[in-house]
Structure 1
């Protein structure tokens, strides 16, 4: 993967006015490639996720991640170019997947970018990337200085109880990592009020609470099954407590 964006448009002309306008809207030297995939005969199609450095010096809060799709007709010597800006990489990847890019190749990111800090971050990002048309973006904000924070506000078509979702990304320059958390609100007004006030923890989506209850129930069943599997003599033996401390049936790991 090259950090330098090269759309390979030399000797090609735009096939339509929209492609010409998209080409004139950015300077390739301002874009750093984060992920890319090329396919088709003669690598005729390109899908790129790129960071646009020039946005930093423009309107505060504007999204800085560009999703780019190029289709080249080598016989006609023409190309079509489509672009969309997003606040975070998973939303850009989602856009490219919706426009024909295979999922797996576009998830391989430049190794120099910040890395996810935990499993929950990776889970939420995968949820966004693979969501299809589930989320309608209502707004976003990007701050690449202290605090390093990006948020996207979206309407979740799969949720009736708390349909407005806030995806909050917080970066840590010291560890070169970031977290992404999902919050759920009944309406956009209350979500924006939370962003302004930050007076309480980010409210979790209802499905998180359901998953937590399910996990507790499964753990209880495992513990119950483990206890019932012990012979009665073992329950009465003096050595049983020390075995439980070392083994912890149902915990899923040795202590």
Structure 2
């Protein structure tokens, strides 16, 4: 693993349980990963969960996601392991994927203080909503931009929405302030959402539930809870959006959500 990946998978005495796990390990050894957060299960260490930024993705297909979630399960009786991976445009979706595989959400917060910070309470609330959403959102598409504007978006279908079920989660980084915002937009269908993403002709339309009085109270409470939980670790690295770095060559790159400063 490269020097920037400061997490030990502890696989030296184990062999891959299947071809997919073997391929995943080979990819990581040749990749360019920076660990943003991780959790190692206790007491027997049978599971590990990692959120990482894959810098090699910034030189690949334009718009490709740069945040990778990694889940390792070790069978210590058989001396084997399985390794699953999933790429995401933003950190909260990566954390959600890991939570669905058994990782306590509160244990996968960003490490250190060198990440971009959430700009406001609404950002905290939207991120918390994504992290704890279970299988609520079906991701339809994503895009990551390393140039101005430095942003990511995730297009998803909300199975819990009674109105405007297609949602856009838009994340934008403010380099100068060292902060980022996450906003949720609601659309009647995928075509309307893609039209907004293409032309940005108006503000991102708020979900209908945001206008409900009770919904506003709930959002405020969730935002306060998220803010309290984040006091120790600030923000999480965002998929490629919060990792501030100087690229070796090529087009300008952006930091990852919770990107490194």
The question of a shared fold, defined as TM-score above 0.5 by the shorter chain, is answered with yes
Q: Following superposition of structure 1 onto structure 2, how do residues 186-225 of structure 1 map, counting pairs within 5 Å?
A: 186-211=188-213
- Report the CA distance shift for 1:99/1:10 in structure 2 as closer, same or farther (over 3 A): same
Higher share in helix? 1
Q: Which residue of 2 aligns with 1:56?
A: 58
* Matches of 1:183 and 1:206, distance apart in 2: 9
Q: Which residue of 2 aligns with 1:174?
A: 176
Q: Indicate yes or no: 2:162 matched with 1:163.
A: no
- Report the CA distance shift for 1:51/1:213 in structure 2 as closer, same or farther (over 3 A): closer
CA RMSD of aligned residues (A): 1.8
* Matches of 2:63 and 2:82, distance apart in 1: 29
Q: Which residue of 2 aligns with 1:81?
A: 83
Which of the numbers 17, 33, 45 marks the counterpart of 1:15? 17
Structure 1, residues 151-208: CA drift from partner, whole Å, max 9, x if none?
0000000013100000000001111110001000000000000011111111110000
Contact 1:4 1:31 in 2 (8 A): no
Unaligned runs of 5+ in 1: 216-255
Q: Following superposition of structure 1 onto structure 2, how do residues 120-131 of structure 1 map, counting pairs within 5 Å?
A: 120-131=122-133
Q: Which residue of 1 aligns with 2:250?
A: none
Cα distance, 1:60 vs structure 2: 0.5
Q: Indicate yes or no: 2:100 matched with 1:98.
A: yes
| Structure 1 ranges of 4+ moved more than 4 A | 212-215
Cα distance, 1:50 vs structure 2: 0.5
Cα distance, 1:12 vs structure 2: 1.6
* Matches of 2:215 and 2:127, distance apart in 1: 23
Is the radius of gyration larger for structure 1 or structure 2? 1
Q: Which structure has the higher relative contact order (CA within 8 Å, separation 6+)?
A: 2
Q: Which residue of 2 aligns with 1:233?
A: none
* Matches of 1:211 and 1:25, distance apart in 2: 49
TM-score normalised per structure 1: 0.79
Contact 2:31 2:56 in 1 (8 A): no
* Matches of 1:213 and 1:96, distance apart in 2: 27
Q: Which residue of 2 aligns with 1:116?
A: 118
* Matches of 1:171 and 1:7, distance apart in 2: 31
Structure 1, residues 56-109: CA drift from partner, whole Å, max 9, x if none?
000010111110011122332211101101110000000000000112111244
Residue correspondences, number: 214
Unaligned runs of 5+ in 2: 218-261
TM-score normalised per structure 2: 0.77
